Amino acid sequence: MDTRLLRTFVTLARTGSFTAAARSLHLAQSTVTVQIRTLERELGTVLFDRLPAGTVPTRAGSALLEEAEAVLDAVARLRATAAAGQGDTAAGAVAGEVVVGAGDSLCSSRLPEVIAALRCDHPRLDVHLHAADTVGAVDGLRTGRLDLALLLEPEVDERDLLARRITSEPLVYVAAAGHRLAGRAAGWDELARESFFVHEEGCSYSDRLVRALQDVPDARPRITRFGSIDAARSCVAAGLGLTLLPRVTVERQLAEGRLAVVDGPSAEPVPVQLVRHRRRWVSPGARVVAEELARVFAAGA
């Protein structure tokens, strides 16, 4: 049996729609449809009910889901064993591929240091970074598209995921160096009259900021959401408003004098959670990457 069919089956079961599964797998929707029909013919049973609200596994599909995940795990173990058995791997080094999902702010700050360190010690270990918000990262872990994820969340309350807090990142309010609030103290009343450029919905610290601003009586803050930290940071540097970001993502701009800290209301440091799927096998490469992530983030803190 073609394991690609099983991967598509698991992804469709986790995402709940052919469109979402195709997007997750980087396939055409018609390809997903053909692969599911092929698998159903091979197994001699209908695996999904196609409903107006989405795609739901049948009783047979639900029963097969855990077995399909086990097969995919077994294939991953087989590949890892084959890679470990190759004679040109240095003693103690591991080989293979590990896919890590993380928010834009972490991808552009801490993670390059992790990859640089791993390339020295494990030259045949390839680490791929995927920018993803919390929803996308959780989905990626469940479908097997991601091996590990870093989430900027206080808690990860998902039964099928295992999370470990590895550090916390301090948050800072920043504005352009020439902004009237640059280097000054400002309370909620004053901040709520400003324009804010924040990360997209689903970012925990941005969502908390927006709720706090909107809770100020008679306040009408202007909120603009971006899917990119760079876009929000650039708008603020141009003098268009303020933002709240992990300090690590604005250190260079602060040092260059393009941005300045605004002494705003207390913002709790945001925890960084290292997350994996609870039931899935963890490859030697993923273990090495997880250890290096924990080391680099702890050192940075």
Query: Which of these three, 85, 104, 139, is where a domain ends?
Result: 85
Those residues with Cβ within 8 angstroms of residue 296's Cβ, 6 or more apart along the chain or in another chain = 110, 113, 114, 117
pTM to 2 decimals? 0.69
- Range with the poorest average pLDDT among 89-93, 141-145, 175-179, 192-196: 89-93
**239 plus 256 within the same structural domain:** yes
> Is the confidence at residue 271, as pLDDT, over 70?
yes
157 — pLDDT class (breaks 50, 70, 90): confident
C-alpha span between 275 and 157 (Å, rounded): 11
* CATH number where 20 lies: 1.10.10.10
User: Under a CB-based contact definition with an 8 Å cutoff, are residues 109 and 121 in contact?
Assistant: no
Domain boundary among the residues 52, 85, 118 is at: 85
Tally of structural domains, the chain: 3
The answer on 258 and 186 residing in a single domain is yes
186 and 257 part of one domain: yes
Q: 195 and 176 in one domain?
A: yes
Q: Both 264 and 177 in a single domain? A: yes
Report the 10 Å Cβ neighbour count for 221. Answer: 19
Which pair of structure tokens corresponds to residue 108? 């552009």
Same domain, yes or no, for 273 and 157?
Answer: yes
**With 90 as the cut, is the pLDDT of residue 299 above it?**
no
pLDDT tens-digit map of 105-130: 777 777 888 888 898 888 888 898 88
Task: Give me the mean pLDDT over the 202-209 stretch.
Answer: 87
Cα–Cα separations (whole angstroms), residue 182 to 17, 36, 37, 254, 259:
47, 57, 60, 11, 8
- Interval 91-96 mean pLDDT: 70
In a shared domain, residues 78 and 95: no
Q: Is residue 129 within 8 Å of residue 136, measured between CB atoms?
A: no
The whole-number average pLDDT for the span 44-64 is: 90
Closest among 155, 176, 251, 244 to 207, alpha carbons compared: 244
253-265 pLDDT per residue, tens: 999 999 999 999 9
Q: Residue 116: exposed, middle, or buried by beta-carbon count in 10 A (0-12, 13-18, 19+)?
A: exposed
Q: Residue 221's closest CA among 202, 238, 241, 239?
A: 241
Query: Where is pLDDT greater, at 201 or 166?
Result: 166
Q: What is the DSSP secondary-structure string of 115-128?
A: HHHHHHH-TTEEEE
Residues 119 and 196 in one domain: no
Domain harbouring 132, CATH code: 3.40.190.10
pLDDT in the model for residue 84? 60
SS3 221: coil
Domain span at residue 94? 89-167+269-301
CA 140 to chain centre: 8
pLDDT given at position 92:
63
- Please check whether residues 119 and 144 belong to one and the same domain: yes
pLDDT number for residue 217: 92
Entry field: residues in the chain:
301
Count the neighbouring beta carbons within 10 Å of the beta carbon of residue 50: 12
State the chain's mean pLDDT as an integer.
88
Closest by CA to 127, choosing from 161, 152, 102, is 102
Query: Does one domain contain both 283 and 159?
Result: yes
**292 and 228, same structural domain?**
no
* Closest alpha carbon to 213 in 233, 229, 195: 195
In percent, how much of the chain has pLDDT > 90? 46
Among 46, 70, 85, the domain boundary falls at: 85
3-state DSSP assignment of residue 299: helix
Distance separating alpha carbons of residues 251 and 74, to the nearest angstrom: 43
Residues 96 and 285: beta-carbon distance below 8 Å = yes
- Find where tokens 């301090």 sit: 170
Judge if 70 and 102 occupy the same domain: no
